[in-house]
A and B are shown apart, each in its own frame.
Chain A
Amino acid sequence: MSSSDLKFAKSHEWAKLDGDVVTIGISKFAVNLLTDLVYIELPAVGDSVSSGVSIGEIESVKAVSDIYSSVTGEIVEINDSLEEDLGALTEDPYGKGWIVKIKIADPSELDQLMDQKAYDELCQSEAH
């Protein structure tokens, strides 16, 4: 998957719309910042989620961070292979490292997110 198809949240999650389902993961920039991922906790299929609300938690270098949903809807699939092996998040954050799929009612929510160019600028400003 090319990251140019993706939208990004300020909290460093990516989102990709396919029909009425949005796939969410964590950006490469965020994965690199986290380093040494050790544990992830995912939501359950069927959970209702809202934009900006925590849907999971990830631990790295003794730090626990929240993962936020960028859309409102229902969790229809989770990538539970990550619970066994977080390597996919590091190696392929925009592909095999996807985290959840959410069925949404209002695709226009994605308009609030950044495109690749705007997100790259945010990352640049955060890196300095």
Chain B
Amino acid sequence: MTSQINQEQEFRLLVDPQPCSGQRNMAIDETLLQLASQSKTPTLRLYEWSEPTVSLGYFQKEPEPSSENSFKNLPFVRRLSGGGAILHHHELTYSFVVPQSHILSKNPSYLYHFIHQEIIKSFQEFKIFAAMRSASNKEKNSKFLCFGRGDANDIMLNGHKIVGSAQRRRKGNTLQHGSILIRRSEHAPEFPGLEELAQCSFPFKEFKESLIQNISNALVRKPFHMELNSTEEEKVDQLIEEKYRFLKWSH
């Protein structure tokens, strides 16, 4: 058995064994982006959050401490990507990192469509019939929470946004991460999840397997499971210590 990824025929797959804190989740995604320039192959990561956490878009102002909202006592973390705030609670999150050398990095805007169509295909396998919002239904992006905003690539079900993604582009490498809203959170009850909208129990494990398979087919590459190595773990710890434990960054 080979322990080295085949740079031409495989992509790296990381399925987190357990949910992590917001700081660690975001530090892992940045680490994967930093590693991308040394690689020729994309990386897909699937993960969850150990506690309800609000992530802020890169440039987004944090809410005033005095403001009344249902998540003011929750942990906050800043993302490397743009867009609005997200309450990560009952969700499955993905990140997908494409190195500069891969053809998908040539047009990063297309990457939203590329990943979202595979998510939609996987939903269909479980009789969940979602679709991308059309460009004509685009809404003004003035709302604080991402799931209250509108973008042509959002995945919609019964008129509600259930998947939204954002990107960071650095030196030709692209990190895209996105949230699949599984169930309504008591902290943001205005946003129903898949389980409420499709009236089903979300098949977490089977959905993950299906999504990996569909992305594998679309990339024409096989998944290669590879956890973080010790050097990567050190980088993650360093990013938490120097960056992600703070909400204010000097950009």
Q: Which of A11, A57, A64, A127 has the most CB of B within 10 A?
A: A64
Please count the residue pairs between chain A and chain B whose beta carbons lie under 8 angstroms apart in the complex. 61
Enumerate chain B residues within 8 angstroms of A59, measured Cβ to Cβ: 57-59, 82
Enumerate chain A residues within 8 angstroms of B166, measured Cβ to Cβ: 62-63
Bound together, the chains give a CA A33 to CA B164 distance in angstroms of 20
| Pair B168/A64 contact, Cβ less than 8 Å | yes
Q: Is A91 part of the binding interface, using a Cβ–Cβ cutoff of 8 Å? A: no
Enumerate chain A residues within 8 angstroms of B106, measured Cβ to Cβ: 126-127
Interface of A is mostly: strand
Q: Is B248 part of the binding interface, using a Cβ–Cβ cutoff of 8 Å? A: no
| Pair A62/B172 contact, Cβ less than 8 Å | no
| Pair A62/B81 contact, Cβ less than 8 Å | yes
| Pair A63/B168 contact, Cβ less than 8 Å | yes
Whether A66 contacts B109 in the complex (CB less than 8 A), given A41-B251, A57-B251, A59-B59, comes out as no
| Pair B109/A64 contact, Cβ less than 8 Å | no
Of B82, B141, B172, B251, the residue contacting A63 (CB under 8 A) is B82
Q: Which of A11, A41, A59, A126 has the most CB of B within 10 A?
A: A59
Bound together, the chains give a CA A59 to CA B151 distance in angstroms of 14
Q: Encode contact with A along B6-17: 1 for CB under 8 Å, 0 otherwise.
A: 000000000000
**B residues 158-177 in Cβ contact with A at 8 Å:** 164-172, 174
Q: Which of B82, B108, B166, B167 has the most CB of A within 10 A?
A: B82
Q: Is B193 part of the binding interface, using a Cβ–Cβ cutoff of 8 Å? A: no
Which residue of A has the minimal Cβ distance to B176? A63
Q: Encode contact with A along B54-73: 1 for CB under 8 Å, 0 otherwise.
A: 00011100000000000000
Bound together, the chains give a CA A35 to CA B109 distance in angstroms of 9
Q: Is A82 part of the binding interface, using a Cβ–Cβ cutoff of 8 Å? A: no
Enumerate chain B residues within 8 angstroms of A126, measured Cβ to Cβ: 106
Bound together, the chains give a CA A60 to CA B166 distance in angstroms of 10
Enumerate chain B residues within 8 angstroms of A65, measured Cβ to Cβ: 168-170
- CB of A59, distance to nearest CB on chain B (Å): 4
Q: Is A38 part of the binding interface, using a Cβ–Cβ cutoff of 8 Å? A: yes
Enumerate chain A residues within 8 angstroms of B108, measured Cβ to Cβ: 33, 63
- CB of A37, distance to nearest CB on chain B (Å): 11
- Since A62-B83, A62-B165, A64-B169 are in contact, a sample of 10 more A-B pairs with Cβ atoms closer than 8 Å, ordered by chain A residue number, is A11-B171, A33-B107, A59-B59, A61-B82, A63-B81, A63-B109, A63-B167, A63-B169, A64-B82, A64-B167
A-B residue pairs in contact (CB < 8 Å), sample of 27: A11-B171, A11-B172, A33-B107, A33-B108, A38-B141, A39-B59, A39-B82, A41-B251, A57-B59, A57-B251, A59-B57, A59-B59, A60-B82, A61-B82, A61-B109, A62-B81, A62-B151, A62-B167, A63-B108, A64-B59, A64-B80, A64-B81, A64-B82, A64-B167, A65-B169, A65-B170, A68-B171
